Amino acid sequence: MLVGVCDFPGSYAFPPAGYGGIERWLWAVAVGARAAGADVHLLGPGWLTDLENDWVRKPVRLEDITTGTLAERELRSTGYDLLVVGHEYPSLPAWTRTLAALDCDVATFQHSPIFQHADTAFDGKRSRLYCYSPEMIERYAAHQPIPELAVHLGLHEEEPPAVPGADLVWLGRIDEEKAPHVAVRAAQLLGRRVRVVGPVFDADYVRRYDRLFSADHVEWVGELGGAAKTAAIRDASVFVYTYARTYVEAGAAVFGESLRAGTPMAALTWREGTCAEAALCERTGAITVADPGADDEAAACQLAHAIVRAATLDHQQVQEIGQHRFDPVRHFRALATGPA
């Protein structure tokens, strides 16, 4: 099987070193495809140039190719069986014109809860949309979505054997949608230290909760990538997951990242059917469903109880389950074969 994994215009490299969503998913698919025995081409100029030493890298974007040109004929003759792309592309007219000439399957994963697809973007067979959680499946029901847990990888983020860990860790983009202040307050209620890892996307939000974020039990780490990021997760006793009441988590990279490292998760959600419920089980984490009408203090108290439960889980067993559930090879095979 010949697989093309396509980049897209953006501010992050492919693969990104630290923060990133779809970019990390595309890299995981490429890694999984090659490990499964497929031939893989990295399509587009966004892929890191030093990957050329070990990968076939073709710095061309399909939407830039003009119909009837030599470039299109050469692309068609390559004979791709599957193209894997960001979720916007199956609705992009310039991209779909080139795809039609290639006559191959296309698969994508929904990493946004608001993007609207063209009515003809997916047929559920040759053009396939994958979604993480029951609530995402419901949102995109008109496009025949297929349930699948997304796998995300970054460069040099191989997970060493799990260890029991110490303190707590919260990782992600730091803004109101991700609500790390609730995790910080839950840690405070327990008298536990928490490391906050990630880039600040909303400085006003951080200032608004300055009293919490500047407390003695909080360690600001900043954005990490590679082995340092993996170590920050692995060395924690519990990964604390939060988000705001109205936010819908679509791709949820952190679940796979934490479980693959062997760190159990304590997850705060505001409704049923979320990514947390899709990704976790009683052996890998503890989920608490808070009342959206309750205040942050009540939610933090519930989350604190979930942290206590998660802290009793076995890190080695968490890693064994995580490495299976979020295996790049398994994930690629699911994308390549389509619905059962």
The tens digit of pLDDT for each residue in 304-331 reads 999 999 999 999 999 999 999 999 999 9
pLDDT of residue 101 exceeding 90, the answer is no
pLDDT of residue 19 exceeding 80, the answer is no
Partners of residue 249 on adjacent β-strands: none
**Residue 298 φ/ψ, nearest 5 degrees:** -65, -40
> How, if at all, do strands 168-171 and 146-147 pair?
unpaired
Q: How large is the average pLDDT for residues 254-272?
A: 97
Which tokens belong to 301?
A: 């108290």
Which fold does the domain 2-155 belong to in CATH?
Answer: Rossmann fold (3.40.50)
Whole-number Å distance between alpha carbons of 260 and 255: 8
Residue 128 has a pLDDT of 97
Residue 71 has a pLDDT of 76
Q: How large is the average pLDDT for residues 264-289?
A: 98
pLDDT of residue 20 exceeding 80, the answer is no
Q: How large is the average pLDDT for residues 161-167?
A: 95
Q: How large is the average pLDDT for residues 256-265?
A: 97
pLDDT of residue 238 exceeding 80, the answer is yes
- Is 168-323 in the same CATH topology as 2-155? yes
**Residue 76 φ/ψ, nearest 5 degrees:** -60, -40
Q: Taking the model in full, what pTM does it have?
A: 0.95
The letter for the amino acid at 111 is H
Average pLDDT, the chain: 94
Instruction: Lowest mean pLDDT of 101-105, 139-143, 189-193, 281-285, name the range.
Output: 101-105
**Domains of the chain: which residue ranges?**
2-155, 168-323
Instruction: Lowest mean pLDDT of 49-53, 202-206, 293-297, name the range.
Output: 49-53
Which fold does the domain 168-323 belong to in CATH?
Answer: Rossmann fold (3.40.50)
pLDDT of residue 187 exceeding 80, the answer is yes
Percent of residues, the chain, with pLDDT higher than 70: 99
Q: How large is the average pLDDT for residues 284-312?
A: 98
Q: How large is the average pLDDT for residues 114-136?
A: 95
